[in-house]
Structure 1
Amino acid sequence: MTRTGWILFALMSVIWGLPYLMIKVAVGGVSVPVLLLSRTAVGAVILLPMALRRVQWTVLRRHWLPLLAFALLEVVGPWALLSDAERTLSSSLTGLLIAAVPIVGAVALAVMGERSGAKQWLGLVIGFGGVALLAAPNLRGGDAWSIVEVMLTAVGYAIAPIIAARKLQEVPTIVTIVVTLVFCSLVYLPFAIATWPQRVPATDVLFALGGLAIICTALAFMLFFQLIREAGPSRAVVITYVNPVIAVAAGVLVLNEPLTITTVIAFVLILGGSILATSKVSSTAEEKAISATKVD
């Protein structure tokens, strides 16, 4: 990978590790719908000029259904669930649970028929063991539903890219993102109006809202596209394994959230399980899988 690629990789690892901290701060001063509207609307306005240069209306009309599914599973549902969950959960715990996205994605692909070897299944078991270790102490009262919200978010984050890869190849990525953000803004708008704050939020809340919209949405997507061009899609998504470290560090250093031995062990299990579960099936495993499907 080039020097530029490494710089972009480092920036993206930090930028997409910070939303959990900013969401935690923002939900302390505004409602979840207001947070979501500010993030999607501002992000859409900033990215819109780039999208308009590449939009093809006939292509959009032909792919409106998978675009709708992508928007619902990538933003509408997950961002609402994640933001609501952080009213109860710490930002570091939320970031670690989201690290299970590659594992959930591996399960989804397996259900769809993609071949998996022993190493991949071992990764799934180890990864889910880490999730269970992390979530179990929090399965009480309001925390239980918040854990469920984060895991549902992980499901959406895992399935949406599969839809994009299989059904939206003709639609430029920037167009997909902007269409998604505009649609989500319209969905969140009436709920945001109904819960609009009666007074100007505190300065830290305003900074968090601005950071989510400008840095973690608009700037992040622009940098991510450039990272894909520099390093390729397979290397670009490796930031998924680094983001949780940033999320935990930010929560501990800025919000004084606790860092326990259990958290560290769970993170190692989730990270290790993710790497195994998403690794390529060996040629031997592939041959065995193919042989098993043959009818003599």
Structure 2
Amino acid sequence: MHASPHFTPKGWALFALLALVWGMPYLFIAEAVETFSPAAVVGIRTLGAAILLLPFALKQRALRPALRRWPWVLAFGAVEMAGPFVLLAHAEQTLASGLTGLFVATVPLFATAIAVARGDRGALKPTRAIGLALGFGGVAIVALGSGALDGHISVVAIGEVLLVAVCYAIAPFIVARHLPDVPSLGVITLSLGAVGLVYTPIGFATTTEPPTARSLTGIILLTVLCTAVAFIAFFALIAEVGPVKAPLMTYLHPVVAIALGMLVRGEPLTAGLMIGFPVVLVGCLLAAGVFTRGQKPSATAPAVEIPASAVR
């Protein structure tokens, strides 16, 4: 099936669905960690999603090619899921879900920095360099304006989420170099299953209180809606509009995360967030090359270059 060069009505519908669904995980994680341990959130989410995706992976015969490259699939799973998911769950025990979503959106800034370190001189174009400076400056504005200095938010939690963004920026390079010809669905299903098998027993051992209805609902929606269903929709979107345009809906994720945090959890709209968020967004767009003529834009979180890295 050839992807359409333009957005079709079906493409727009899938785009809107994913912009919403992949802006929701930060809310559901915040709800889940109220009673589940971070390890339990990661284990249930990944193993449950792997089980739901398995029939689709088997139907597309995507598992065997992934199994042939299992060391790199596991490496991808460690960098994209095992580390980031538990860091996010731990950070959201103290950090607002909207802030978490915004800090994760710095992925293209780190991806551009990594590209520079790997010798990509195109990443040093003036507009992209300005984007890097703006993006990281916006992060500082958000952190300082939201209370990082006076102890209202945890600097450690911010550091954890920024480390997540670094991991998300690294993962696509693993796929691009070592798994370019392996079906994305096979890579994702196998890596989700491996992470789930590791974290699920740890999760049951570290969760010490009965889950509330809100926590249970959050973890179910995180597993089914934001992981399994989202991936199926994402593959459909790639088929409809192509791999370059498909990940661009991720620029809307911080907006969804911030809005849901305010509406559902009563999180405050701080001055730092109001001023810093537009700066971060513009910085990310510039750093990713969206406004650079003749250059394909890099995708932000969840994907920078390779659709397989879109798990969030």
TM, length-normalised to structure 2: 0.86
Contact 1:133 1:262 in 2 (8 A): yes
Aligned pairs, how many? 283
In the alignment, which residue of structure 2 is the partner of 1:182? 193
The yes-or-no answer on 1:14 pairing with 2:20 is yes
Structure 1 residues 245 and 58: alpha-carbon distance in aligned structure 2, compared to 1, 3 A threshold: closer
In the alignment, which residue of structure 1 is the partner of 2:304? none
Unaligned runs of 5+ in 1: 284-296
Contact 1:139 1:147 in 2 (8 A): no
In structure 1, distance between residues paired with 2:58 and 2:94:
39
In structure 2, distance between residues paired with 1:82 and 1:32:
8
Contact 1:27 1:87 in 2 (8 A): yes
How far 1:185 sits from its partner (Å)? 0.7
In the alignment, which residue of structure 2 is the partner of 1:126? 134
In the alignment, which residue of structure 2 is the partner of 1:195? 206
Contact 2:66 2:190 in 1 (8 A): no
How far 1:229 sits from its partner (Å)? 1.0
**Tell me, what secondary structure is at the counterpart of 2:23?**
coil
Out of 255, 276, 284, which is 1:274 matched to? 284
Alignment of 1:141-290 (within 5 A): 143-199=154-210, 201-279=211-289
Structure 1 residues 165 and 140: alpha-carbon distance in aligned structure 2, compared to 1, 3 A threshold: farther
In structure 2, distance between residues paired with 1:212 and 1:83:
12
**Tell me, what secondary structure is at the counterpart of 1:89?**
coil
Q: Give, as a single letter, the amino acid of the residue that structure 1 aligns with 2:34.
A: G
Contact 2:63 2:186 in 1 (8 A): no
Higher mean Cα deviation, 207-216 or 106-115? 106-115
Higher mean Cα deviation, 12-21 or 102-111? 102-111
Higher mean Cα deviation, 108-117 or 203-212? 108-117
Contact 2:35 2:207 in 1 (8 A): no
Q: Give, as a single letter, the amino acid of the residue that structure 1 aligns with 2:200.
A: L
Structure 1 residues 186 and 253: alpha-carbon distance in aligned structure 2, compared to 1, 3 A threshold: same
Q: Give, as a single letter, the amino acid of the residue that structure 1 aligns with 2:129.
A: W
Structure 1 residues 58 and 218: alpha-carbon distance in aligned structure 2, compared to 1, 3 A threshold: closer
In structure 2, distance between residues paired with 1:250 and 1:222:
23
Structure 1 residues 193 and 260: alpha-carbon distance in aligned structure 2, compared to 1, 3 A threshold: closer
Contact 2:128 2:287 in 1 (8 A): yes
Q: Give, as a single letter, the amino acid of the residue that structure 1 aligns with 2:13.
A: I
In structure 2, distance between residues paired with 1:240 and 1:232:
15
Is the radius of gyration larger for structure 1 or structure 2?
1
Q: Give, as a single letter, the amino acid of the residue that structure 1 aligns with 2:96.
A: S
Note the aligned Cα RMSD (angstroms): 1.9
The yes-or-no answer on 1:27 pairing with 2:38 is no
Structure 1 residues 84 and 64: alpha-carbon distance in aligned structure 2, compared to 1, 3 A threshold: same
In structure 2, distance between residues paired with 1:12 and 1:60:
25
In structure 1, distance between residues paired with 2:62 and 2:41:
30
**Tell me, what secondary structure is at the counterpart of 1:46?**
helix
Deviation string 1:84-127 (CA, Å, 9 cap, x unpaired) is: 00001000111111110111111111111112211111100000
Q: Give, as a single letter, the amino acid of the residue that structure 1 aligns with 2:199.
A: Y
How far 1:198 sits from its partner (Å)? 4.8
How far 1:55 sits from its partner (Å)? 3.8
Higher mean Cα deviation, 13-22 or 65-74? 65-74
In structure 2, distance between residues paired with 1:56 and 1:18:
28
Contact 1:82 1:150 in 2 (8 A): yes
Deviation string 1:160-189 (CA, Å, 9 cap, x unpaired) is: 122223321221111111011111012202
In structure 1, distance between residues paired with 2:238 and 2:86:
27
Unaligned runs of 5+ in 2: 1-6, 295-312
Give identity over the alignment, percent: 42
Higher mean Cα deviation, 98-107 or 6-15? 98-107
Deviation string 1:257-282 (CA, Å, 9 cap, x unpaired) is: 11123202211111101111111666
Out of 80, 87, 91, which is 1:85 matched to? 91
In the alignment, which residue of structure 1 is the partner of 2:104? 98
**Tell me, what secondary structure is at the counterpart of 2:273?**
helix
**Tell me, what secondary structure is at the counterpart of 1:238?**
helix
In structure 1, distance between residues paired with 2:275 and 2:207:
41
How far 1:65 sits from its partner (Å)? 2.5
TM, length-normalised to structure 1: 0.90
